[in-house]
Structure 1
Amino acid sequence: MIKRSNKSINSILFLLPMVLATSLFASSSSNDAEGFSFILIIIGLFGGLGMFLYGMEMMSDGMKMTAGNSMRAILKKLTSNRFIAVFVGAFITMIIQSSSATTVMLVSFVNSGLLNFVQALGVILGSNIGSTVTAQIVAFKVTDYALLLIAVGSIMTLFSKKDSAKHIGFVILGFGLLFYGMKVMSDTMKPLRTDPTFNIILTSFENPFLGIIAGAVFTALIQSSSATTGIVITLASSGSITLEAGIPLILGANIGTCITALLAGLKATRDAKRVAIGHVLFNVIGVLVFCFWIPTFADLVAQTTDNVPRQIANAHTIFNIVSTILFIPFAPFISRTIIRYFPDKEKLRNIEKPAILNLDEKVLSYPTAAINNAQAEISGVVGLTERVVGSLVSPFITDKDQSDVENPELNLITGLHQRLEKIKYLNENISNYLIKISQQDLTSHQSREVFALVSATNYLNSINDTVKVKFENLIGKKESLDEGFSDAGQEEILVYHAKLLKQIKRLNKYFAKYDRAKATKIMKKGKKYKDLEEKYRLEHFKRVSGNVSVSVATHQLHVELMDMLKQINTFIELIASTLLVIEEA
């Protein structure tokens, strides 16, 4: 929180002189309409654009911090109903004011298996609708109150003691900067209204293809369709652009925003790549459907209001709603078509070579997505740990040579050791990734969540170390014995081992869908299994006291093996209790 407060203070101190400077430039350039300076105009335009973009980012960051983890909680509960998925996508994008951020987060969720492809397509369609809210807000003529919003937002951000008030202040400050940037650009461009060259350039955008290309390229560069739409509305507010020229630009913005999804899907899983392709297909086909009847569309939109900026905002909204309505019925067909041309690739698992699947550093600036990636990688470690624990007991029960559970060419013990090394490697990378996440701007909840995941990773590492240290020693003791466990002792070990495997399977199921009930059940069963272990320990000592020869001979091995299993059970409980703290927070 200290880091975020310092960043807010630095941002405000940096922006105050910038606001004054751009205001002076805008005034000087607009007051001299006949002998305007292109240098002052360019400086004013870039200064206003900088404030506009920075204000939009600040507003988005503030809304993300205010929303906390509600976005991920909503996505976790998403059903396979594509209509609900559309609603969820629209709602989340309205909260964070960035369809690009929603898409990046969506790719990480598909990458980790939390959502399937059809669900993701619905969310993408909804995110396009949600992004139109920014344009509707920008179309309101509130630029005269921009400085008031900056003042209120700055005061709330700098002096509020509650995090929630600081976050809301960040949003208000972002709105103020956004609208003030619009005012600076609008005032700066006033002298250009009489410039023939400038008017020719803007009029050329009435050509649908030129306008779409210009909007797509500009949006791809700044990676925000909302920003492009806002700038088009600013041009319309100053009377520099018509509705017929504005519509192609906002259509192009819908194509340009796809670059974020494509970048996010480059090194992701096959399903995540499909999400990026689906995003591109929806937006490109939607634009192709509309681009051939832009004049008719403009006439229809012109009936909604006499205000040109509002007409452009309405065109943006209507386009995305109509496109979504057209595509919803075909979502399953589109998903099947994409899967047909981009099928799953069969990959042979190589347990000798560790592979990091989810720790994408490109999404570190999106803490929600990054935390989800870390959880997905931890889930993979839990799966490996389950196979390690599943292999622990059989070498002590039978003398027969056993092959690895996944690679028949390896013996069981060799495969187990390879997994232990792989778990160690993955845990180190997960810990490093979580540290990088902790260095981002996080909410207090996200900070606690990262700390809890670090603890869970450490406990998994402790399970790994326990097995690595004790298993070899126990194997050595087993080989030095001529006898096996008593029938009763062997049955107790097998039963307790089966209970332990159920615990780790529950932990695996928790990470599959982040099911709180599974973590709660681990804690509940853990107490029973402790009692069971104590009961078996007493039964074993009764056999030793009764001078049962095999129990006496295998006493040390029996006790140490059960002790290792008990320690693993304890660490699993600690992981579950840590996960419950996250859920409760």
Structure 2
Amino acid sequence: MSLNAVSINTVSGTTLLINLAGAIALLLWGSHMISTALQRGFGTQLRNFMGRHLKNRWMALLSGIGITGILQSSTAVSLMATSFTAAGTLSLAPALAVMLGANIGSTLVVQLMSFNTAIAIPLLVLGGFVVFKLRDHSGFESAGCAMIGLGLMLLALSLLSGTLCHIESTPVFNAVMQGLQGDTLIALMVALVLTLICHSSVAVILLIASLATTGVMNAQTALALVLGANIGGALPSVINAGSQVARRLPVGNLLVRTLGALAFLPFLTLIVTHVGNKVSMAQLVVYFHTAFSLVLALIFIGFTGPFARFLEQRFPEEERGTELGMPLYLDEAGLDIAYIGLSNAVRESLRSADMLSIMLDRVFVLFQKLDQSIATEIHQVDQSLDLLSAAIRAYLADLGQDGLSDSDADRAQEILMFVINVEHAGDILASSLTQLATRRSRRSEVFNEFELNNIRLLHWEILTSLRMAVTAFLGEDLHAAQQLVARKEVIRQLEASASREHFKTLREDKNAWAESGDIFQRVLRDYRRVHHHIAAVAYPVIDRLGGVVKDNATYGESA
């Protein structure tokens, strides 16, 4: 009889643990759905909003609160702000203010979830499904997924509350809770580790509030757990940082939370004495979490400047590698957030354009004098360009495993086309034009003044087009893209004029035409081929922005 009772209790305990784990997993998945969906559908708009509202520390603070309230994830905001600081587009001081605001924003999420919202669960799930199916558009799909995710989080909290009511009566659980009573430091460490594992301080705070409601812990232990959750919430960003510069912001956020937790720890008893009897245990947890973040923001907002300088000295920028073809900005952390990954790919693409510019300059020097070291340098830069192009293509293929919004997918296609065309232009310079320059020189023949003048004209025009291509690509500038396409006619006329004049000068010297004249004509043709690939960068920009192509060129046309 006793064996049967033990068996029943064991099964019951196992079932409760499974229910608890399932509720926590559902809570984390709902949070992930909201953050991922909103970043995929509206990440670019949120990034632009943040970029426009970071002119001073107070605006940065408010932006951090607002964006965290939307994304319901301070970790996502941390990754966003870290990418800006690592790219050099955002100073560290306002970024620290953003994180102070993000910490406050996460408390607003906790307060929202703490209300009795039972009727909202079916309404959110149903409404999210309707919005998702309403229209085949990434914005509607993202909004629908976010609503469903919010409904799942509320459902998880309901399941969690019901499961905890049964768990609180089990001997093992009571023994664990009794072990935490009176030892605030151990309680803090337990919450820290749990938050690090869950990657969500919001979920852990809500779990603590649910536990506190059951009465299995005293108020002081609950507040110590809240402090531990705040420290643990800052750890994932520190661990994921891939460079010294990228570590500055998450380490700064971790230091602020840790210093704040250590400062609050001695006063927990005093806080419980004055506030504990006036509110419920769940309210005490939520309000303390909010007060903690507010106090940290008010104290540290005035020290973001000196604190930023301290972090910059502690984490100096690393020296760049000497290998030209090694990517510098393709951070793996950016693969999880589409617009961060796209920004990383754009930065590397600009490096590929710089390599093409170097190759153009070296090829022109080679036309003026034979120097085998210059030819070798051109081939080395071309190899580096090929390596970098392959790295960017692989990075774009791995980007957005959860899917890309329509605008992000179009931008990824633009980046891909830019990289491919730059690589093809580099191949022409390295394999064809370099060979033509060395062949003429090896025959002890130099390009005459007429030939060099025409090559120089083409060289300058192509460099101008390359700068215009970068402008159209980087700024998504429709006018620059249309101008770039129009310049194809300028190059065609320069080639035709130089070819006619050159043909006239060699009309009577057919032996010279057989070799020297043919080389110059092929040089003209190859320069036009290079320009064709540069101009092709404009077409995806024109297509996406709804412009009109002012010639009959297509992506696959032959030069």
Relative to the length of structure 1, the TM-score reads: 0.80
**Pairing of 1:501-520 with structure 2 (within 5 A):** 501-507=463-469, 514-517=474-477, 520=479
Residue of structure 2 in register with 1:270 after alignment: 244
Q: Distance in 1 between matches of 2:109 and 2:480?
A: 44
Decide whether aligned partners of structure 1 residues 396 and 205 sit closer, same or farther in structure 2, where only a CA change above 3 A counts.
farther
Shift of 1:256: 0.9
Matched-pair contact (CA < 8 Å) for 2:465–2:531: yes
1:464 paired with 2:421, answer no
Return 389-398 or 539-548, whichever deviates more.
539-548
Shift of 1:86: 2.9
Match among 237, 246, 255 for residue 261 of structure 1:
237
Residue of structure 2 in register with 1:96 after alignment: 71
Shift of 1:89: 2.9
1:473 paired with 2:435, answer yes
1:282 paired with 2:256, answer yes
Residue of structure 2 in register with 1:323 after alignment: 296
Residue of structure 2 in register with 1:435 after alignment: 397
Return 237-246 or 429-438, whichever deviates more.
237-246
1:245 paired with 2:213, answer no
Residue of structure 1 in register with 2:286 after alignment: 313
Residue of structure 2 in register with 1:5 after alignment: none
Shift of 1:51: 2.0
1:45 paired with 2:23, answer no
Residue of structure 1 in register with 2:501 after alignment: 542
Unaligned runs of 5+ in 1: 1-31, 403-410
Return 249-258 or 474-483, whichever deviates more.
474-483
| 2:237 aligned partner, one-letter code | A
Matched-pair contact (CA < 8 Å) for 1:62–1:171: yes
Residue of structure 2 in register with 1:211 after alignment: 187
Match among 435, 448, 468 for residue 410 of structure 2:
448
Return 314-323 or 533-542, whichever deviates more.
533-542
Decide whether aligned partners of structure 1 residues 242 and 417 sit closer, same or farther in structure 2, where only a CA change above 3 A counts.
same
**Pairing of 1:19-418 with structure 2 (within 5 A):** 37-77=12-52, 79=54, 81-143=56-118, 145-154=120-129, 156-157=131-132, 161-193=136-168, 198=173, 201-202=176-177, 204=180, 207-241=183-217, 243-265=219-241, 268-298=242-272, 306-347=279-320, 349-351=322-324, 354-399=325-370, 401=371, 411-418=373-380
1:578 paired with 2:554, answer no
Shift of 1:455: 2.0
Residue of structure 2 in register with 1:531 after alignment: 490
Shift of 1:138: 0.8
Q: Distance in 1 between matches of 2:103 and 2:508?
A: 74
For residues 94-143 of structure 1, give each alpha carbon's deviation from its aligned partner in whole angstroms, at most 9, with x where no partner exists.
22211212223333444444434344333333322222232021111113
| 2:263 aligned partner, one-letter code | V
Residue of structure 1 in register with 2:553 after alignment: none
Q: Distance in 2 between matches of 1:85 and 1:216?
A: 27
Q: Distance in 2 between matches of 1:548 and 1:490?
A: 19
User: Residue 336 of structure 2: SS of its match in structure 1?
Assistant: coil
Matched-pair contact (CA < 8 Å) for 1:104–1:260: no
| 1:70 aligned partner, one-letter code | Q
Matched-pair contact (CA < 8 Å) for 1:359–1:373: yes
| 1:274 aligned partner, one-letter code | R
Shift of 1:432: 2.1
Relative to the length of structure 2, the TM-score reads: 0.84
Return 155-164 or 37-46, whichever deviates more.
155-164
Shift of 1:334: 1.6
Q: Distance in 1 between matches of 2:409 and 2:436?
A: 40
Matched-pair contact (CA < 8 Å) for 2:40–2:338: no
Q: Distance in 1 between matches of 2:104 and 2:306?
A: 21
Shift of 1:243: 4.5
Matched-pair contact (CA < 8 Å) for 1:427–1:457: yes
Decide whether aligned partners of structure 1 residues 372 and 525 sit closer, same or farther in structure 2, where only a CA change above 3 A counts.
closer
Percentage identity across paired residues of the two chains:
21
Decide whether aligned partners of structure 1 residues 454 and 528 sit closer, same or farther in structure 2, where only a CA change above 3 A counts.
closer
Return 53-62 or 491-500, whichever deviates more.
491-500
Q: How many residues align?
A: 536
Q: Distance in 1 between matches of 2:338 and 2:130?
A: 26
What's the Cα RMSD here? 3.5
Q: Distance in 2 between matches of 1:503 and 1:77?
A: 30
Decide whether aligned partners of structure 1 residues 450 and 525 sit closer, same or farther in structure 2, where only a CA change above 3 A counts.
closer
Q: Distance in 2 between matches of 1:301 and 1:509?
A: 59
Decide whether aligned partners of structure 1 residues 521 and 308 sit closer, same or farther in structure 2, where only a CA change above 3 A counts.
same
Decide whether aligned partners of structure 1 residues 117 and 389 sit closer, same or farther in structure 2, where only a CA change above 3 A counts.
farther
Q: Distance in 1 between matches of 2:152 and 2:246?
A: 35
